[in-house]
A and B are shown apart, each in its own frame.
Chain A
């Protein structure tokens, strides 16, 4: 059997496993409700906060669209980052199978990529439902035929690579801890603040704003809004063209993946040296 076939089989098995773990605890309908309940509630919270301040003044659709699009697409980070990094820890502590993954023919990266992809499938469904519900209920200026799909898909592809890369590195770092409950959510919470998902990064103080501008998530959020809303999008980078923002997304994604690879390699070596891969953890 060729190496490529072995990797492909590993990838398929990992994707299927990830999907089963995240979805087979209940009936499909309950799973769909569960998947959209959190992002939909988060969107409602922001809509009410905005309405309380704006007082329902006319011309508020653009800012509501800014908030809703950020929350809807944040599901990808929530599932992809917190879900995958928690998944690595669960594979070791709860399911006690991480050591078998390490000893299998599939490369560990391939396994994690498959695990992450399954998480992103749930996120995609959640994002679409939140966008559709919010667009109809709030009459947001989003028109399915007017969306710049090539820009949306290419930006999302790059950003999700970065998210999966960060999650892999962070998940491996979490292997150092005996008890890592809640750390996946903590990591995604920090990213939430510096991603421009629910407020422009210009509101942040200097250091945080600089840190945020180094993250690919900010440029992804900007491109999501531009592709969904066109000229009606509220822009975080009004001086930059779409191409400029895309270039920044490419550069920050490449830098993030490089950094993630270095951290991953270091954490992996530490885990092997210290015998952390099959360590009993606090489950």
Chain B
């Protein structure tokens, strides 16, 4: 009997793990509602804050673009970083560990499916918020903006893979830690205001999260007049470096923490 090659298994695993997310993105209505409405409501609240302050129209655009990437961040936190935690609780992690494949392939599949899932949610946020509040964008640099968006999402999901391996170590506190990675990250990444307002130190620290630089670059391209944090070219270079760095780091940390988890029997330890 012929056995499939390791490469074939690797790619089949990616597709197999991404598949439920492609299907689930429109089949699971309860997720559809929360994943779309949560970032949308946050975005609308912040738009009203700017309206109350009589802010120029481009600030509303800042918020909407922040809301678009917020949908991705929430997906990274709740469906990437904490996913092995949920899988362990549901008894899937031990099955993954026994299967003739790697956790890296499973993570890549999760990321691929997650990107698709978030894309549908963020498109809804962009469309609804922009229409409701009559927000316009410059389309002159739309293609470069889309390119930077793709790079940012790649870097973000690489970071998500790093977090997923770290969360293998957490038990009941995983929920709280994921929760704590919301408002503080919205602040550090400048989701609702120009990143430049954070200053060099805080903005520099926030730039470790790919969203910060990606968001600033996209705003510079589609919302003319955005105060520049770092020149656009440097932001693109930094995001590419982050893709490589977080990609490598995720594989190294996954191998190390998987080994540790096996030794400590954490792959089968229920969290409650």
Q: Does B228 have its Cβ within 8 Å of any Cβ on chain A? A: no
Q: How far is the CA of A181 from the CA of B28 in the complex (A)?
A: 12
Q: Does B26 have its Cβ within 8 Å of any Cβ on chain A? A: no
Contact of A190 among B41, B171, B176, B191 (CB under 8 A): B41
Residues of B contacting A46 in the complex (Cβ-Cβ under 8 angstroms): 49
Most buried by A among B34, B37, B89: B34
A51-B41 in contact given A179-B31, A180-B30 (Cβ < 8 Å): no
Residues of A contacting B46 in the complex (Cβ-Cβ under 8 angstroms): 49
- A28-75, CB < 8 A from B: 34, 37-39, 41-42, 44-46, 48-54, 67
Residues of B contacting A39 in the complex (Cβ-Cβ under 8 angstroms): 183
Residues of A contacting B179 in the complex (Cβ-Cβ under 8 angstroms): 34, 38
Contact of B186 among A41, A67, A193 (CB under 8 A): A41
- Establish whether residues B197 and A52, one from each chain, have CB atoms under 8 Å apart when the complex forms: yes
- Establish whether residues A203 and B28, one from each chain, have CB atoms under 8 Å apart when the complex forms: no
Contact of B45 among A54, A95, A192 (CB under 8 A): A192
Indicate with 1 or 0, residue by residue over A192-229, a CB within 8 angstroms of chain B CB atoms.
11000011100110000000000000000000000000
Q: How many residues of A contact B (CB 8 A)?
A: 40
Q: Does B184 have its Cβ within 8 Å of any Cβ on chain A? A: yes
- Establish whether residues A50 and B186, one from each chain, have CB atoms under 8 Å apart when the complex forms: no
Q: Does B99 have its Cβ within 8 Å of any Cβ on chain A? A: no
Q: Does A177 have its Cβ within 8 Å of any Cβ on chain B? A: yes
Indicate with 1 or 0, residue by residue over B170-206, a CB within 8 angstroms of chain A CB atoms.
0111001001101110110001111001100000000
Q: Does A8 have its Cβ within 8 Å of any Cβ on chain B? A: no
Residues of B contacting A204 in the complex (Cβ-Cβ under 8 angstroms): 48
Q: Does B169 have its Cβ within 8 Å of any Cβ on chain A? A: no
- Establish whether residues B187 and A44, one from each chain, have CB atoms under 8 Å apart when the complex forms: yes
Total contacts A-B at CB 8 Å = 105
Select from chain A the residue with minimum beta-carbon distance to B190. Answer: A48
Distance in angstroms from A276 CB to nearest chain B CB is 15
- Establish whether residues B187 and A186, one from each chain, have CB atoms under 8 Å apart when the complex forms: no
- Establish whether residues A179 and B28, one from each chain, have CB atoms under 8 Å apart when the complex forms: yes
Q: How far is the CA of A42 from the CA of B192 in the complex (A)?
A: 11
Distance in angstroms from A22 CB to nearest chain B CB is 9
Distance in angstroms from B241 CB to nearest chain A CB is 27
Q: Does A182 have its Cβ within 8 Å of any Cβ on chain B? A: yes
- Establish whether residues B53 and A54, one from each chain, have CB atoms under 8 Å apart when the complex forms: yes
Q: How far is the CA of A198 from the CA of B44 in the complex (A)?
A: 12
Residues of B contacting A105 in the complex (Cβ-Cβ under 8 angstroms): none
Q: Does B98 have its Cβ within 8 Å of any Cβ on chain A? A: no
Select from chain A the residue with minimum beta-carbon distance to B30. Answer: A179
Residues of A contacting B28 in the complex (Cβ-Cβ under 8 angstroms): 179
- B15-39, CB < 8 A from A: 28, 30-31, 33-35, 37-38
- Establish whether residues A37 and B180, one from each chain, have CB atoms under 8 Å apart when the complex forms: yes
Q: How far is the CA of A179 from the CA of B86 in the complex (A)?
A: 13
- Establish whether residues B38 and A182, one from each chain, have CB atoms under 8 Å apart when the complex forms: yes
- Establish whether residues A53 and B30, one from each chain, have CB atoms under 8 Å apart when the complex forms: no
- Establish whether residues B173 and A49, one from each chain, have CB atoms under 8 Å apart when the complex forms: no
Distance in angstroms from B45 CB to nearest chain A CB is 5
Q: How far is the CA of A104 from the CA of B127 in the complex (A)?
A: 50
Q: How far is the CA of A177 from the CA of B31 in the complex (A)?
A: 11
- Other A-B contacts than A34-B179, A45-B186, 14 sampled, CB-CB below 8 A, are A42-B183, A49-B193, A53-B50, A181-B30, A181-B31, A183-B30, A185-B38, A186-B38, A189-B42, A193-B41, A193-B45, A198-B48, A198-B49, A199-B49
Q: What are 21 A-B pairs with beta-carbon distances under 8 A?
A: A25-B176, A34-B179, A41-B184, A41-B186, A41-B187, A42-B183, A49-B49, A53-B50, A177-B30, A182-B34, A185-B34, A185-B38, A186-B41, A189-B41, A193-B48, A199-B49, A199-B51, A200-B52, A203-B48, A283-B89, A283-B90
